[in-house]
Amino acid sequence: MAAPKKGRGSTGGQGRPGRALALILIAMVALTGGMFLSGHTTPRLGIDLAGGTSITLKAKSQPGKPDAINETNMNTAVNIIERRVNGLGVSEAEVQTQGASNIIVNIPKGTNSKQAREQVGTTAQLYFRPVLTVTGGEPTPKGSASPSASGSGKASATPSAKATDPETASDPKTPSADATTQGRAVTGGLKKDETPAPSASTSGAADSSDAPAATGTPDPATAALEKKFTALDCTDPAARAKAGDGVKPEQPTVACSSEGDAKYLLGPAEVSGTDVDDAKAQFDQQRGIWLVSMEFTDKGSKKFQTITKKLSAQQSPQNQFAISLDGEVVSAPQVNETLSGSAEISGSFTQQSAEDLANVLSYGALPLSFSEDTVTTVTAALGGEQLEAGLIAGAIGLALVVIYLVAYYRGLALIALLSLLASGVLTYTIMALLGPAIGFALNLPAVCGAIVAIGITADSFIVYFERIRDEIREGRTLRPAVERAWPRARRTILVSDFVSFLAAAVLFLVTVGKVQGFAFTLGLTTLLDVVVVFLFTKPVMTLMARTKFFGSGHPWSGLDPKRLGAKPPLRRSRRVTARTDHPKEA
């Protein structure tokens, strides 16, 4: 009795196929339920199927700055481009890095593709502008006082603007006219201004500062700027993004904070981002605070010295300068003294906020620009046609596989079709859930990968079926043939799927853009093929072998010994030979 038990155990679970089937059925039910509960019942479609514009940007650095292309700057560029795209009123746009030097921008349909390309393809514009007036982000109510350079009205700080001393700082989101709570404090400097000479740009800034408060005949340009400032609604993302459109650096402008809770009237740009040589986030152990240190170029040092001398003599909010990135104020610190070659911005920074501001300042100084590598624009109608064509191709491929299986394997085709159905359910639900989870989008190459996967999955079934048929040809009955064929088929299937998965992984790592969709889908379906063969096909085949239809070798089962040319049982063959040889010896 012990020997048979050992033999059954060595068959790989011949007597317990229900456990594997229960496991995969539970997984299918769980994935399907999660898909419906999440509300994402269809896979997310890529730009080439849903319609839109896909832009691949390649970063390039200028001679002398070989280290400009790094992970930090690439991530900062992604944030800047994403803010630009969102400023166009685009929803569900995707901006992500691909590889070490590429950025993929996928903009869905309904967006002006030309405008989008202009937005994402230009280098970030970073300027230091003097603050003339700052108020809350909402439009100024009618009948209230007009904004003026004197800082009258209700002043508010940017989200990051707090006093250097956190004990005396007010809530940054609460508007206040107190100078001590406006902006972060700027201190330090390698050089102090002794006898600065006023420059033309400084005079222009001063004149612009006085313009809003001027009396007599109003300047039409100044009146228009005041009107724009009064009507500006920084709580509206679209209005926030377009606040400074078309304004040259040497002109005054209006701008919003990054969060939209403050709006600014700014003077002409005194220092540009290219004048910043370096910026770092540092932790001051003595004071126990995070700060951002800046180093300027020789040319930028002179400009910064001029503007800080002028600002340090002003009252709030005119002692602040706004760090403006693409027309949005990312920080508006106060100037406490005349600075030149270096400066530090301190306040209620966290490590993350300090690093973010340092990255913004560094990015404006680094010679990092982008060139368009590829641009693909697909209309919604064309995307629908491509999707329809892909689905038709998949249906034709599946139909050909079914015809082949039925014609050649007959009854075994039922097991293959059930396995394909299980693989299809797993693939569809996982793709639908991966859309909101990791942003996976089903593009046309991904559909091609799914079609190729039909052949890969069917190939695994064929390998197993042929191993079983080989065992039957050797004279074995179906039940032992199923179990003896499995170890050999298993090795072949694993090796084949490993090669396919390795090819998909290499393709995913070395390519960018849409080709990665093909590689990802191919790798996913290859893994699911292993799961289906081990947990579904093999257990179902074990159960089918116990039925009379398959076990007796019905002609339509695909396992008929006569059709397969099975040999007689080996033991019977030896006994017959022994009987025929004995009379000859006698």
Spatial contact of 411 and 550, defined as CB atoms under 8 Å apart? yes
118 close to 101: Cβ distance less than 8 angstroms:
no
Q: Does the structure show a pLDDT above 70 at 512? A: no
Give pLDDT, residue 197: 35
Average pLDDT over residues 249-262: 85
Please, what is the angle between helix 412-438 and helix 515-532, to 10°? 130
Contact at 8 Å (CB) between 163 and 185? yes
Question: Which among 303, 130, 274 is positioned nearest to 200, based on CA atoms?
Answer: 303
Task: Please count the helices (runs of H) and the strands (runs of E) in the chain.
Answer: 19, 15
User: Which pLDDT score is estimated for 345?
Assistant: 84
pLDDT of residue 212: 42
pLDDT at 577: 47
Check residue 84 and give its pLDDT: 64
Q: Mean pLDDT, to the nearest integer, of 346-371? A: 73
pLDDT at position 219 is: 60
What's residue 498's pLDDT? 93
Sheet holding 289-296: strands in order across?
276-284, 289-296, 342-349, 185-187, 334-335
- pLDDT number for residue 121: 59
Q: What is the pLDDT of residue 64?
A: 63
Q: What is the reported pTM? A: 0.54
Predicted confidence at residue 258, as pLDDT, reads: 77
Rounded CA separation 83/103 (Å)? 14
Lowest mean pLDDT among 210-224, 491-505, 553-567, 569-583: 569-583
- How does strand 262-266 pair with strand 185-187? unpaired
User: DSSP 3-state assignment of 349?
Assistant: strand
Provide the pLDDT for residue 86. 64
**Mean pLDDT computed over 476-487:** 89
pLDDT at 404 over 60: yes
pLDDT given for residue 501 in this prediction: 92
**Which whole number is the average pLDDT over 393-414?**
87
Segment 249-272 mean pLDDT: 86
Assign 3-class secondary structure to 288-335. CEEEEEEEECHHHHHHHHHHHHHHHCCCCCCCEEEEEECCEEEECCEE
Q: Report, in this order, helix, strand and coil percent for the chain, each rounded to 5.
A: 50, 15, 30
The whole-number pLDDT of residue 524 equals: 92
| CA distance linking residue 434 with residue 424, whole number of Å | 15
Q: With 70 as the cut, is the pLDDT of residue 223 above it?
A: yes
User: Six-digit token pair at 321?
Assistant: 């300068």
Helix (H) or strand (E) holding 187: strand 185-187
Task: Count CB atoms within 10 A of the CB of residue 449.
Answer: 25
How much is the mean pLDDT over the chain?
74
| Residue percentage of the chain with pLDDT more than 70 | 72
Say whether pLDDT at 367 is over 60: no
For the segment 20-78, what is each residue's pLDDT rounded down to a tens digit? 899 999 999 999 999 999 888 888 877 777 777 888 888 877 666 667 788 877 887 78
The segment with the largest mean pLDDT, out of 101-115, 344-358, 427-441, is 427-441
Is 469's pLDDT higher than 80?
yes
What's the pLDDT at 564?
A: 79
Q: How does pLDDT run across 540-574, given as a tens digit for each residue?
A: 999 988 888 888 888 888 888 888 777 765 444 44
| Residue 79: CA count within 13 A, CB half-sphere | 14
pLDDT of residue 280: 85
Q: Is residue 2 predicted with pLDDT exceeding 50?
A: no
- pLDDT tens digit string along 80-132? 777 666 655 555 567 888 878 888 887 776 556 666 666 665 656 788 889 88
